[in-house]
Amino acid sequence: MIRVTVWNEGLHEKTSKEVSAIYPDGIHNYIKGFLQTEEDIEVTTATLTQRKCGLTDEVLDNTDVLIWWGHMAHHLVPDKIVKKVYDRVLGGMGIIVLHSGHHSKIFKKLMGTTCNLQWREGDRERLWTVNPSHPIAKGVPAYIDIDVEEMYGERFDIPEPQELVFMGWFAGGEVFRSGCCWQKGLGKVFYFQPGHESNPTYHNKDIQLIIKNAVRWAAPQNPVIKDKGCPHAKVTPEQKYKENNNE
């Protein structure tokens, strides 16, 4: 089983009737709902207002892939927690950063850039699958039309993605690198643009499929290393020599 924790700051749902009408139990529970129907995925949630933002050692110990949705309260996530999540990613935990999470502390720390972009609310998006052979594109159509989504446009200030799976085109003429993959340390990172809180984007079955595929892609192949660093790097050249020569 792939153990997923969906993290959400969960504030828009409490302060906006428009948002709570689309996600009555919060974005985190909505995402949990469509992920937990999969036989190979088990899901828990965590939110900003819980103790330690819901990301205790115990929760992280039981997380293979962390999904992150945040927008208005990035600054309220303590640096100590961000560092802990960052170290887990370097140790192999997968992370999927959604939509406005582009400005979260954890994403900016992983990228090492501003992660700034152009934006405008309320446009039509056509999301193009530009790498159909990628695991995250499995079963996904050539393009997905999203009637209303917040426009995110270039330039998106990120390091060059190691793999680009989706490109967004907006009716205003803008384009955006909407589905990007990186490996950081031992961990896989996927950024996915659609998912503005006041549009029902996560209700779209194809968007759900992409997130399910991304969970499977980002899941670690080996147990996550809790203390920073790769265990293979701890073997000294002398030890390696002895091993190779049966000494």
Contacting residues toward Zn ion, per CB under 5 A = 100, 150, 196
Cβ distance to Zn ion smaller for residue 100 or 204:
100
Please state the closest distance from residue 27 (CB atom) to Zn ion, in A: 11
Cβ distance to Zn ion smaller for residue 196 or 212:
196
Please state the closest distance from residue 86 (CB atom) to Zn ion, in A: 24
Tokens of 19: 């948002």
Cβ distance to Zn ion smaller for residue 64 or 150:
150
Q: Which residue is nearest to Zn ion (CB)?
A: 196
Residue 222: count of CB within 10 angstroms of its CB: 9
Cβ distance to Zn ion smaller for residue 131 or 198:
198
Distances (CA, A) of 247 to 153, 233, 240: 59, 20, 10
Please state the closest distance from residue 229 (CB atom) to Zn ion, in A: 36
Q: 């330039």: which residue's tokens?
A: 155
Q: Does residue 124 have a cis peptide bond before it, meaning omega lies within 30 degrees of 0?
A: no
Please state the closest distance from residue 150 (CB atom) to Zn ion, in A: 4
Residue 16: count of CB within 10 angstroms of its CB: 13
Cβ distance to Zn ion smaller for residue 13 or 150:
150
Closest CA to 43 of 53, 55, 58, 33: 33
Closest CA to 177 of 127, 138, 113: 127
Q: 């050249």: which residue's tokens?
A: 237
Please state the closest distance from residue 135 (CB atom) to Zn ion, in A: 27
